[in-house]
Amino acid sequence: MMHIICRKLIATYFTAALIGIFFGFLIAIDSDSERAVSFYGMSLVVLYYGGIIILLYGNATSFLSEYINKRWLRDQTHTFLLFHLLFGIGFGVFFNLKDVVLLGMLGALIYALTDRLLYKRREESKIAFVFLLSPPAVFLLGIVFFWVT
């Protein structure tokens, strides 16, 4: 059980960080003022809010989809991804926001692929370190890039 919780938390962190960095890049490219500050600020804002949504809604739906997948569907990867995409769409449909539907699909896909990769390679601890260390490295590279340009 502890392995499942760690796997879900790593997937939450990785997904929220990637989406935050992605939005940081989009905002910093359009910014007329300090691009590094815009990148830093928007990345952290999206990381915090997106991380909370993924932690509460995403993990709950992921546990549910994993339970359904293991219980009735013989643990198939494509149904696991399909359930995550459907639950990712559900958040945007509930609030009737088209952009949130696309963002939910993107986040659900990143989350499901990360979770499935960690599940398949549970004996290899190196893969978890890659998922934990790559977002800060990309974030620092983004700050340096926008600071220099």
Residue numbers in the chain where pLDDT is lower than 70: 123
pTM of the model: 0.89
On whether residue 16 sits in a domain, the answer given is no
Token digits for 149?
């340009």
Does 6 fall in a domain?
Answer: no
Residue 94 lies in a domain: yes
Name the token pair of 97. Answer: 């926001």
Please name the residues in contact with 58: beta carbons below 8 A apart, sequence gap of 6 or more. 12, 15, 87, 88, 107, 108, 111
- Residue 18: the pLDDT is 95
Number of structural domains found in the chain: 1
pLDDT of residue 39: 92
pLDDT tens digit sequence for 48-57? 999 999 999 9
**Which residue is it, tokens 């992605």?**
22
Cβ pair 22, 144 in contact under 8 A: no
What is the structure's pLDDT at 144?
A: 92
- Structural domain contains residue 141: yes
Residue 63's domain comprises 24-148
Q: Is 14 part of any domain?
A: no
In a domain, residue 131? The reply is yes
For residue 139, being part of any structural domain is answered with yes
Assign 3-state DSSP to the chain and report helix, strand, coil percentages, each to 5: 90, 0, 10
Q: Is residue 48 part of a domain?
A: yes
